[in-house]
Amino acid sequence: MLAPLDLLDQLQARLDEGIALVPTSRAGGFASLVLELPELPALPPDLDCPRFGCSHGQRGELRAGYGIAAEWTAQGPERLQELRTQARRLTAHWQQIDPDETGFQGFALLGFAASLDPAPLPSFRPEHRPDRPPRPSEGTDAAPGPGSGLPNALLWLPELGLCTRRGQSALVLTTSLPVPPRALRARWRGWLTRLLPALAGPLPEPLTPSRLTALGSRPGLDDWTVLVESALAEIRRGALDKVVLCRQVGLQGRRPFDQRRLLAALTYLFPSCQVISLQRGERRFVAATPERLLRVQGRQVEVDAIAGTAARSASPVQDAALTAALRSSDKNRREHALVVKAVQEVLHACCDGVQFPPTPDVLQLHNAQHLWSRVTGHLRGDMDLFGLAERLHPTPATNGEPSREARAWLSRAEPIARGWYTGAAGILEPDLSGELWVLLRCAEIQGESAWLYAGAGIVDGSDPLAEWRETDHKLAAVATALQFS
């Protein structure tokens, strides 16, 4: 790679040429200028500004955004329809300028929380045995997380974008129009001056694993047991087929957690997962999720159905036995079939040519493995990514089935607010193609404090302690990475 100053000079010269192609006097709309980078960045740089990143280690793909060229927020039942209207206005007046013929374009982040509206904590408080208060490690009074500082639903167009795909990399600079050419040149040159030294800097060196102090779980084991038994009672009386319960666990580090080290650790530990990070102010939200809510490319759709979980083992023989047990488990197969059925029903209502495998595959991660089916179809009529996301979310894998009844029960029973955990986020393209991922294996981070989230699907036959241990395995995903950051 060129020395940082040489590359900066080269990019600034190409920037000046590219600005001449930007319709700076056009009334309204946006323009994105794409400049090829000579080499791949190993990790998105950590610039001091609002920023997001979406990366997939196994696929070698990265999208990172910095600053805000424009953003739109929404909440309530019509939140995705409101953002869809804004996205269509954006893409109708969004010019792409690619003088290096990289094939890249501008992009936006689309994301939303689990619930339709910001809501206070539910009033549900399970009864405790008077002869034994909760232990500190499992108490329901663990301090709640700080909140990610994110709106309920968000469409975010960054001013600076960084893209990597199939061994090629590019910068994307975006502006609203009209804009004075001199001001635009100064602003975009400023981004290059900040970005290039960060790109050329060395990767963070590995740290000795840091000891993390547990701040407690909400709910604790006793309350979790009551919640699971309450859910099972609803299932036995026929009100629910499945419901997904969530835990929040607090961890305290000995030093402030380092963003780049955390992203590097998550990418290394979970190469088949999508690593998503968002930061606005001092608060960060990160996820290493195996579950894609949907992918829309033109009119073609892919949806992941993931449900049914088992642990992993360092022993190949024991690991193979765990995989075989997962495949043959009646409880896990029923849990998975509920998700596949729900996805099929949504796609049949708005897609042609719906296809799904006769039996699920197994998706193996570093510390867990899941039953996994990919369902595909071809969109009909005016259905698009926004409309499909609205129909698919929340899936039975994160909410339950029937969906409306499960959501209503959780709003009364679950003792925490999920925020963006089990929401979705991903990248939106100028033609409204894109990919959204369910936000699982999540943490909200501020300084040296982190609040982790994980859930478990409750169906007939679920055991409270076994489901608790399943959430422990899921929580270990981000907790392990935090030790090295």
Residue where a domain stops, chosen among 170, 202, 234: 202
Of the three residues 202, 232, 266, the one that is the final residue of a domain is 202
Say yes or no: 253 and 185 in one domain: no
- Contact at 8 Å (CB) between 277 and 64? no
Instruction: Say if residues 31 and 174 touch (Cβ distance below 8 Å).
Output: yes
CA dihedral 392, 343, 422, 140 (to 10 degrees): 120
Spell out the per-residue pLDDT of the chain, length 485, in tens. 455 568 888 999 999 999 999 999 999 999 999 999 987 666 788 899 999 999 998 888 999 999 999 999 999 999 999 999 999 999 999 999 999 999 999 999 999 999 877 644 433 333 333 333 333 333 333 444 445 578 999 999 999 999 998 889 999 999 999 999 999 999 999 999 999 888 876 666 656 778 899 999 999 999 999 999 999 999 999 999 999 999 999 999 988 998 888 998 898 888 889 999 999 888 899 999 988 999 999 999 999 988 888 888 888 899 899 889 889 888 888 888 888 888 999 999 999 999 988 888 888 877 788 888 999 999 999 999 999 999 999 988 889 889 899 999 999 999 988 999 999 999 999 999 999 999 998 999 999 999 999 999 898 999 999 999 989 988 988 998 999 88
Q: Are residues 53 and 142 in the same domain?
A: no
Range of 46's domain?
A: 1-117+152-202
Domain identity same for 368 and 453: yes
User: Are 313 and 332 part of one and the same domain?
Assistant: yes
Which of 202, 226, 261 is a domain's end point?
Answer: 202
Q: Helices 385-392 and 79-92 meet at what angle, rounded to 10?
A: 160
Q: Are residues 286 and 179 in the same domain?
A: no
Name the β-bridge partners of 65.
Answer: 52, 161
Tokens of 108: 């936006």
CATH of the domain at 363: 3.60.120.10
402 shares a domain with 286: yes
Query: 348 and 318, same structural domain?
Result: yes
Domain shared by 13 and 63, yes or no: yes
Same-domain check for residues 169 and 147: no
- State whether 317 and 401 are in the same domain: yes
Tell me how many domains the chain contains: 2
For residues 394 and 372, membership in a common domain is answered with yes
* Judgement on whether residues 167 and 252 belong to the same structural domain of the protein: no
- Token representation of residue 365: 């991660």
pTM here is 0.89
